Each structure stands twice: as structure tokens, then as C-alpha cells.
A and B are shown apart, each in its own frame.
Chain A
Amino acid sequence: MKTPKIRPGERVGPRQQHNWDWRAASNFIAGGTGGGLLAFAAFASLWGADVRALLVAGMALIGAGLTCVWFEIGKPWRALNVYRHAATSWMTREAAVAPFVFGTGVLALATGLGLFVLLTGIFGACFVYAQARILAADKGIPAWRHRRCLPLVAATGFAEGASLLAVATPFLIPHVAGQIAVATGALVLLFVRVLLWRNYLRGLRSEGAPVGSLRALSAIDGPFLKYGNLLPAVLLMVGVLGTPLAGAALVLAGLVAVAGGWWFKYTLVRRAAFTQGFALPHLPVRGRGTSGAGVKPGWGGA
């Protein structure tokens, strides 16, 4: 359906969205990491780790993301209206999970009961999933609605959570076996993130997407793989091998992996977020002429 020679007028092809700026992106960045961290903190608590600091950090990240969004919306004093459409809106569901995250999190900190820690982790995971579904439901942005985007966004949230746990591990888990377990877990999640990232990019390229989205995502492909995943993976390997510098390697690996995930999510929500644009499956018949082949300006791949 693409026509090589096409001169679309203003706003015919896909264009970058400008309604969700860095504040909205921050919700996906901080909220995803926070939710993932809570999930892995709960996991770590099963082995007896003191995860109170992690719970505070996870809730702070989610709170920071939601605060950023609050500053973005047009009518912040009506924000509670967000709870009115749980039947179909994932934004409502994300907002509905947040009080449970904070409620059980505060109870976990106050009582120290493992049940509340686990519940906080479960709600944190639900928060990550709800965020991924928000993007997937936005049909106007092809890069988000692609079926391979949802697992990638969810996976990067969990990978970031595991990576932050790796950062905290030298301070929370003194024994080597525990540190190796955390490093191995984070390594596996980074591997999953890479697989899903490559799968997503391949899907977009093969099925077609706005040229702007492909360009923005392709631009980070190499650096994201090398510095966002490979470098922390090597550092995590150092941690797994239990060398004398294992602790420092875990901290550095975690921070780099989180930074890589944030860079990807910022790119996805801001730079690669191009609209659908317009397409004509048939050019109209004019006068005595015939109809022309369809056009879909501004799309690439496929």
C-alpha cells in the first residue's frame, strides 16, 4: 500500500505525539521500576532478607511517577474521577492498584509481617502489568499497541526491579550464596528483556510501523543492547562468579541496567510515539479517470 512518491500535506502522515511529555514518561519509568522492585523485594523476603528499605524505595518510585502524572493532567483537582471506569480502563485499574500498594506497604513496614510484604509485592507486580496494558490499549500509537510491546514493557519493569535489588544486595544480603542468587535472577531477566526487545523490534519492522517510530527505536537498538544489557550482564557475571569485587559489580550492574530500561521507556513513550497517520486503501476516481492504488504515507518496514 506504500507509494514511493508521495507528498503528503500537513498532518497526513504519522507525527510525534506531544500530549504526554516527560511527566507521563516518568510514570512509566519510575512506576515500572518501583512495581518491579516491590515484586522482587517480596521475593527476597522469602529468604529472610530485611527488605524494608526496598519497600520504601519501591513505594517512593511509584509515588514519584504518579505525582509527575498529576502535574501533567489538565484538571488535577478532579484527579479522583480516575476511579470511575474500572470496567474497561487500565488507567483506572492502575490507579486502583496504587492505594493497595501503599496500604499493604505501610502495613508491612509497621508490622513487619511477611504476609503484607508479599501482598505489597503482588500489588507492585499488578501495577507494572496495568501500566503495560495502558500503552497496549492506546490504538492511536502503533508502536504501543503492537502485541509484542506489552510483554516488553512489563519485562523491563521487572528487570529494573531485579536490578535495583542487585544494587541493594551487598548491603542487605551478606552471604555469598544470596548475592549469587540475586545476580543470577537479574541476569536471567536481562536476557528475557533482550529477547523481547529484539522480538518487538523485529515485529515492528516486519509488520510495518511509522517511519519515525522505527527510526527512534533503531537509534537506541545498538547502545541499548551493548550498554543497557550486555555491560550489566558482564558485571552480573562478575557477581555470580563471586570475585572480591562482586559487591561493587552488583551495584554498578544494577544501576546501569536500570538506566538502560529508563532510556528505553523514555524513548518508547516520547520519541517513538508516533500517531497512526492517515491512509487511503483506494484513491478516488475523479472525472473519467480510474481509481489509484492505496497510499499510506509515513510508514516503513513490512
Chain B
Amino acid sequence: MTRYVMAIDLRRCVGCQTCTAACKNANATPPGVQWRRVLDLETGEFPDVRRSFVPVACMHCDEPPCEEVCPTKATTKRPDGLVAIDYDTCIGCANCVMACPYEARSIVHEVKFAYGDKPIKSEEVRFDPARIGVSMKCTFCIDRIDLAAQTGQVPGRDPEVTPACVNSCISGAMAFGDLDDPDSKVSRLIAENKTFRMHEELGTGPGVYYIWDKG
């Protein structure tokens, strides 16, 4: 079996938002919609003040609440752990948006472009009308993962079949791969370090592991 997950080293993330930009570029999300973003938290009191950066997106959960509540089966969990949306089936009811505890989903009801009503060249080419009025979210760059089956490359190791955010990370904070492969980079990172998953108490089994200290 394969279970694709992501490991994000919070000790390394510098909050540069390069992954956010890479995601936007790779997936052509509309203005105001970011499938990948980096939270910026400032905590504590002088002189013990801390700043933490936390990249978040769809957690591709083991038990996705979005899939459970979806009345159309547009949201499905694949055998490799990726949670996918069929834009042609979704009715845009937003029940999945309410069910997701990670604020990973968005619905855009009107066509919007970066500079007003008319698309710029790149938007003209990449505009996808199927995404209007339906739920959308991070796919872990699903098209790249699926490409691996044809090319024989390994997601997480070969950049062509690895999510854009992971490829772009300037500090090497993000890793992607198969958790069921004990030799994959994510498996080793998770085994060798202390990790947590966001809102684990909700029983969703998120597929993103945050590294916060050495093991």
C-alpha cells in the first residue's frame, strides 16, 4: 500500500511564503484563494517572544470529514491517501467547507482575475471554468503524483512528480513521500523526530506531520 503524507519541519520554516507563491503558480488559484499558506504566530511576552511559521493546506486526512458529509460523492479518498474533488459532480453546497477543521476549502462563485474583469495572458490560458461554484482545495499536486505511475519516478524524490510547494521550499522544511515505505524521506523524518498533527484530537488522522524537535 501507499500512503502519501507530508512532513513539515517547523524548526526550518522561515515564513518566506515561497510555497504559497509556488502553489498559486502551479494551480492557478483565483485571487483571494490560497490552497497553501503559511501562518505567522507571534507569542509570549518580552523578553520571551517567539515567532512561529506554520504552513497549512489540505491535510489529506485518514478519515476526511469532508468526504463523510459530501452529499454527492464529489469528494473521495483515494487508496494512496489523497483526498480528491470531482469538480463535475460537486454542487457547491459548502458542507465540506464547514466540515473541514483546517479551513482548507474554498468556493468561488464569480469569475475573478488578478487585475479586474479581464484575465491577463497567463490567466487566459489557465482559467478553469469547472472550478467556479464548486469546492476546491490543495490536491497535493495530484496530476504530478499520477504522472509518477507513467514515468516510474518516485513522488517526494523526483521533483517532476512532487508537489510544487515541496519543490519550492528554500529551507528544505517540507518533505513529501510514502509513509508506508520505511526508507522514504518522510518516514525517516517522522521516525527520527518529534512530530504532531494538527487537531489530532478530532480523529481526522491528518496526513501532514509537523516536526517540532529532534527525536
Report A's interface with B, CB cutoff 8 A: 3, 5-12, 15, 17, 19-20, 24, 69, 72-76, 78-79, 81-85, 88-92, 95, 134, 137-141, 144, 273, 275-276, 278-286, 291-292, 295, 297
| B11 touching A284, Cβ below 8 Å | yes
A-B contact sample (6 more), CB < 8 A, given A81-B71, A81-B91: A15-B103, A74-B90, A74-B92, A78-B89, A91-B71, A144-B98
Contacts of B30 in A (CB 8 A): none
4 smallest beta-carbon distances between A and B, as pairs: A74-B92, A74-B133, A9-B40, A284-B10
Task: Give bound CA distance, A123 to B37, whole Å.
Answer: 44
Interchain CA distance A95-B93 in the complex, whole Å:
12
Query: For the complex, is B79 an interface residue (Cβ under 8 Å from A)?
Result: no
Closest to B51 in A: A286
Task: Compute the total of residue contacts between A and B using a CB distance below 8 Å.
Answer: 178
Q: Indicate if the CB atoms of B68 and A88 lie closer than 8 Å.
A: yes
Q: Is the CB of A17 within 8 A of B40?
A: no
A144 to B202, CA, bound (A): 14
The answer on a CB contact under 8 Å between B69 and A137 is yes
For the complex, what is the distance from the CA of A19 to the CA of B52, rounded to whole Å? 29
Binding site for A on B (CB under 8 A): 10-11, 37, 39-45, 50, 52, 54, 56, 65, 67-74, 89-95, 97-103, 107, 109, 132-134, 194, 196, 198-199, 202, 204, 210-214
A5-B43, A74-B107, A139-B65 given; A280·B52 CB < 8 A: yes
CB distance from B135 to the nearest CB of A (A): 8
Q: A9–B15 Cα gap in the complex (Å)? A: 12
On whether the beta carbons of A84 and B101 are closer than 8 Å, the reply is no
A285 in complex: contacting residue of B11, B74, B100, B103, CB < 8 Å: B11
B103 touches A280 (CB 8 A): no
How far is it, in angstroms, between the C-alpha of A144 and the C-alpha of B101 when the chains are bound? 12
Q: Are B56 and A74 in contact (CB under 8 A)?
A: no
Selected A-B contacts with CB under 8 Å, 15 pairs: A8-B39, A12-B40, A17-B97, A20-B94, A73-B92, A74-B92, A82-B71, A92-B71, A138-B95, A138-B99, A140-B101, A278-B56, A284-B212, A291-B212, A295-B43
A9, A81, A295: the one within 8 Å of B72 (CB): A81
Point out the residues of chain B lying under 8 angstroms from A139, CB to CB: 65, 99-101, 202, 204
Q: Is the CB of A6 within 8 A of B91?
A: no
Q: Which residue of B lies closest to A17 (CB)?
A: B98
B211 proximity list for chain A (CB < 8 A)? 284
Given A137-B65, A284-B10, answer yes or no on A79-B91 (Cβ-Cβ < 8 Å).
yes
Closest Cβ of chain A to B108, distance in Å, is: 9
- Measured in the bound complex, the distance between the Cα atoms of B122 and A118 in whole Å is 61
- Check if B41 sits within 8 Å of A284, measured CB to CB: no
Docked-complex contact A140 and B107, CB < 8 angstroms: no
Q: How far is the CB of A223 from the nearest CB of chain B, in Å?
A: 27
A91 pairs with B198, CB closer than 8 A:
no
Secondary structure at the B interface, as helix, strand, loop or mixed, is mixed
- Residues A276 and B71 in contact in the complex (CB < 8 Å), given A19-B94, A74-B134: no
Q: Is the CB of B99 within 8 A of A73?
A: no
- A residues near B132, Cβ cutoff 8 Å: 74
For the complex, give the distance between the alpha carbons of A295 and B194 in Å: 17
Shortest CB–CB separation between residue B38 and chain A, in angstroms?
A: 9
Find chain A residues with CB under 8 A from B97 CB: 17, 19, 140
Complex contacts, B204 vs chain A, CB 8 Å = 139
- Is there an interface contact between A283 and B90, defined as CB atoms closer than 8 Å? no
Q: Which of B43, B199, B202 has the most CB of A within 10 A?
A: B43
Q: Provided the pairs A12-B39, A17-B98 are in contact, do residues A81 and B89 lie with their beta carbons within 8 angstroms?
A: yes
Considering the complex, give the chain B residue whose CB is closest to the CB of A24: B94
> For B72, what are the chain A residues with a Cβ–Cβ distance below 8 Å?
78, 81-82, 84-85
- Please determine whether A73 and B91 come into contact, CB atoms closer than 8 angstroms: yes
| A170 → chain B closest CB, angstroms | 40
B132 nearest in chain A by CB position: A74
> Quick one: which of A24, A134, A140 has the most chain B CB within 10 A?
A140
Residue from A8, A69, A276, A284 within 8 A of B101 (CB atoms): A276
Does B93 lie within 8 Å of A91, measured CB to CB? yes
Closest residue of A by beta carbon distance from B48: A292
Name the residue on A nearest B67 (C-beta).
A88
**Residues A284 and B42 in contact, CB atoms below 8 Å apart:** no
**In the complex, what distance in Å separates the CA atom of A79 from the CA atom of B89?**
10
Alpha-carbon gap, A31 to B10, bound state (A):
46
Among A83, A89, A140, A279, contact of B198 (Cβ-Cβ < 8 Å): A279
* Nearest-neighbor residue (CB-CB) of B37 within chain A: A11
Q: How far is the CB of A179 from chain B (nearest CB, A)?
A: 41
CB–CB B199/A276 < 8 A: yes
The residue of chain B having its C-beta at the shortest distance from the C-beta of A9 within the complex is B40
Residues of A within 8 A of B98 (CB): 17, 19-20, 138, 140-141, 144, 273
